[in-house]
Amino acid sequence: MPSQRDALHPRLRAITDLTPGATREGAGLHEYDGEVADLSPDGVRSALSRLGGETLEDAHDEAHLAAFERALRLELGELELHRSNPLYHLGELDVSVYDREYAPKEDRDRARVAHLARWPELVEHAIAALDRVPAPVARSLGGAIAGAADGLPDDLPEDVRAAALAAHARLVAHIEHAAKHGPESAALGAADLGALMGAGEAMEVDLADLAARADAERDRLRTRLAEATARLAPGEEPMEVARGLTRLHPDADGVLDAARRWTALAMEFTDERGLAPYGDGECRIDVSPPSQRWATAMMAWSGPWEADTPSFYYVTPPDASWTEAEAGEWLEMFSHTTLPAISVHEVAPGHYSHGRALRRAPGQVRKALHSMTFAEGWAHYAEEMCLEEGFGEYAAERLGDPEWTATHYEIGVWVEALIRVTRLSAAIGVHTGGMSVEEAAARFAEDTPLQGPAALSEARRATFDPTYGRYTWGKLEILALRERARREWGADFSLARFHQALLDLGSPPLGLIGAAVERG
């Protein structure tokens, strides 16, 4: 009997062989466990030469697959980003997927050892490729690369551990050298940024138009934030009210319980209102595994090719070694105002609900190839859509806490959205040369509750994650499509129908989401 991997369409197999990390993490195709991509210059050229082939019968799936092929040819072939951006190689180092209980522990442990045994090979390829790393990118990613070896299991075979750590040290030294001696500009330029954003989304991108849309969205969000904060604190400056609210949060021991409470409310609301097509499965809330503690919160869903094992909403409380001030700053991200929106985003009807739909997506392409712009756009759209549908009032009634009102949820939605839209503006500004990292940090400090190091960290992310404006961009495209569906479907429109039709497409390139209206 052929394996799942062997049964893939040859064109799809050529992509998954080049992206084993994304395939096992997002699609749950664990026949790629223990494997890494060869991202050396020769390895990439060889892999790209295998892309393409026979046209698929379904026109939508053909366009979806072709967009991913175009994106890889652009990123790794024309732009050669694996030579300037260590993030590609950092993704291959990642062994966090083996922490999730998708298979018996002994199988996952065996896969982790096999993966770590390939770190020396992986690092050799990374050092051969990374000859164009800009100093700002190296400085921004240095901590993440140095931390890639944190939390390795104590029971690793000693020879594997020693070889992996020695290889890791070589990569760290290579990136440290780039941080001192690499070129000072990380800007891609307008043409390359536009091509990078559009290729995988099957659409042309007009950066000037997108920047204008981001500015208009920022203005709308600031107006809505001012209206909401005025109901709680009339006459006070809106952002100062928002910053004050983010300082009200559970303590370190209470973060998980708070996340569980908000998850339960979000799932109940989504199910009662029919906001997502599937509400089955199990979502557990737990502390992030050591390898994932760089993130505040994240969803690790049960992938389409996995047995139906629990998905995990991971939450990272402050480290026990941090000072009280450091822990307090971290906990602000789990405030009573923002944690509800984060839970909607990560769980229901956001990423968890999306993951349940992906398990039913028809065909191999939709199960395997996920546009992160759509995925993050969907989860971000869910935050405001739940506001429109009354989640704040629903939660306030069930909590029975006079200190928490529907307005708190609304403010949390606007605060989170302002951070996301500022990312889009910063990415366009930094990579087209219109904004320095310091100017981007100042914009975060002005338009969001983030200040000082937090604002600078967000701005620096633009240097190595030039498409991190995907949250707002995806949301805006989904909102525009929803209005089209209202017009074309008329009295037959409902959110349930729209969401079902949209998620039946899997996690499609943005340029193809119109099929939800045409086929739905």
**Pick from 475, 493, 514: which residue ends a domain?**
475
Same domain? For 142 and 213 the reply is: no
In a domain, 487, yes or no: no
In a domain, 397, yes or no: yes
In a domain, 151, yes or no: yes
Residue 354 pLDDT: 98
In a domain, 131, yes or no: yes
Determine the structural domain holding residue 373 and report its residue range: 207-280+301-306+320-475
Degrees to nearest 5, angle at CA 67 with 66 and 72: 100
In a domain, 198, yes or no: no
Provide φ and ψ at 77, rounded to 5°.
-95, -60
Same domain? For 394 and 352 the reply is: yes
Same domain? For 156 and 235 the reply is: no
Kindly list the strands in the beta sheet with 283-287, ordered across the sheet, starting from the edge strand earlier in the chain.
283-287, 311-315, 297-300
Same domain? For 422 and 392 the reply is: yes
Same domain? For 138 and 47 the reply is: yes
Same domain? For 348 and 275 the reply is: yes
Domain count, the chain: 2
Same domain? For 175 and 213 the reply is: no
Task: Judge whether 394 and 89 are in contact, CB under 8 Å.
Answer: no
Longest CA–CA separation in the chain, Å: 70
Cα distance between residue 36 and residue 159, in whole Å: 19
Same domain? For 417 and 337 the reply is: yes
Cβ neighbors of 492 (< 8 A, separation 6 or more) are: none
pTM for this predicted structure: 0.95
Same domain? For 361 and 397 the reply is: yes
Per residue in 258-316, pLDDT (tens digit) is 999 999 999 999 999 999 999 999 999 998 876 566 667 899 999 999 999 999 999 88
What is the DSSP track for 466-483? Answer: TTTTHHHHHHHHHHHHHH
Q: Tens of pLDDT along the chain (520 residues)?
A: 567 888 999 999 999 999 999 999 999 999 999 999 999 999 999 999 999 999 999 999 999 999 999 999 999 999 999 999 999 999 999 998 998 889 999 999 999 999 999 999 999 999 999 999 999 999 999 988 998 898 788 889 999 999 999 999 999 999 999 999 999 999 999 999 999 999 999 999 999 999 999 999 999 999 999 999 999 999 999 999 999 999 999 988 899 999 999 999 999 999 999 999 999 999 999 988 765 666 678 999 999 999 999 999 998 888 778 788 878 888 888 899 999 999 999 999 999 999 999 999 999 999 999 999 999 999 999 999 999 999 999 999 999 999 999 999 999 999 999 999 999 999 999 999 889 999 999 999 999 988 888 888 889 999 999 999 999 999 999 999 999 999 999 999 999 999 999 999 999 999 999 999 998 7
In a domain, 401, yes or no: yes
Cα distance between residue 313 and residue 345, in whole Å: 11
- Token output for 258: 């708070």
Q: Establish whether the linkage from the previous residue to 349 is cis, with ω within 30° of 0.
A: yes
Same domain? For 36 and 170 the reply is: yes
Same domain? For 272 and 415 the reply is: yes
Same domain? For 154 and 266 the reply is: no
Task: Judge whether 233 and 242 are in contact, CB under 8 Å.
Answer: no
Per residue in 12-23, pLDDT (tens digit) is 999 999 999 999
Cα distance between residue 357 and residue 506, in whole Å: 7
In a domain, 196, yes or no: no
In a domain, 488, yes or no: no
